[in-house]
Amino acid sequence: MKTKVIFTFPPEIVEKPISHTLMKEFDLWINILRAKIEPSEGGKLVIELQGDEENIKAGIELAEKSGVGVTLLENDVLWDKELCVDCGACISLCPTQALTLDRDTFKLNFDFGRCVACGSCAQVCPVKAISINF
C-alpha cells in the first residue's frame, strides 16, 4: 500500500536518520515529495510511504516515538468546499493534476492521491478556500 504523510521535525531531532531507519528496518520505499528542514528550526518533510500495511504502521509509530509529528497529507491540505466557488483558478497551476474541474458539473475535484502538498493552489486561491499546513 501507499500513503502520503507529512513529518514535522522539531529542531532537536533533525540529526536523527529517521527516513533511513524506516527504509532499513521496515522495508519501506520512501518517495520525498517536498522537504524543508533547517538544523536550528526543524521543519517538514512530505513523503509517500510504500510497503506492507503493518510495516507502514510500525514505521510511523517509530517516527512518532522519535519525536516526529506525523499527519496524513490529506489532513494538512485543507479544502473548504463551502468557501470554494469552483472558479478553477488553481487548476492550471497544479503540477500533478490533483485539481481538476469535473467534466459534467464543472465543480472542483481534489484528488488527494495525486497531491504533493506543493502549496501552489493555496497561494493562488482567490477566496482562500485551500490552505496548507506546511
Partner 1 sequence: MGVKKATREVDVVTTGTFSPMCSSGVILNFGHTDPPIRMQKIWLNDVPAHGGLAAVDTYLGATSLSKTMEDYGGAHVIEGLLRGEEVFLRATSSGTDCYPQKEIETYITLEGINEALLFNPRNCYQNYNVAVNTSTRRIHTYMGTLLPKLGNATYCTSGQLSPLLNDPTFRAIGMGTRIFLGGAQGHVVWHGTQHNPTTKIVDGNKIVGGGTISVMGNLKQMSVDFIRAAVFPGYGVTMFVGIGTPIPILDEDMMRFVSVCDSDIYTTISDYSCTHKSKPVLGTVNYAQLRSGSIKIGDKEVPTSPLSSYAKAREIAEKLKKDITQGKFLLQEPAWQLPNKSSNKTSE
Where does this chain bind partner 1 (CB under 8 A)?
85-93, 100-101, 105-107, 123-124, 126-128
Give min distance, CB of 81 to partner 1, in A.
Answer: 12
For partner 1, the closer CB: 67 or 119: 119
In whole angstroms, what is the distance from residue 38 CA to residue 123 CA? Answer: 23
For partner 1, the closer CB: 56 or 125: 125
Give min distance, CB of 41 to partner 1, in A.
Answer: 23
Query: Is residue 36 helix, strand or coil?
Result: strand
Give min distance, CB of 76 to partner 1, in A.
Answer: 21
For partner 1, the closer CB: 54 or 86: 86
In whole angstroms, what is the distance from residue 17 CA to residue 13 CA? Answer: 9
In whole angstroms, what is the distance from residue 50 CA to residue 112 CA? Answer: 16
Phi, psi of 43 (to 5 degrees): 160, -160
Give min distance, CB of 124 to partner 1, in A.
Answer: 5
Phi, psi of 47 (to 5 degrees): -135, 155
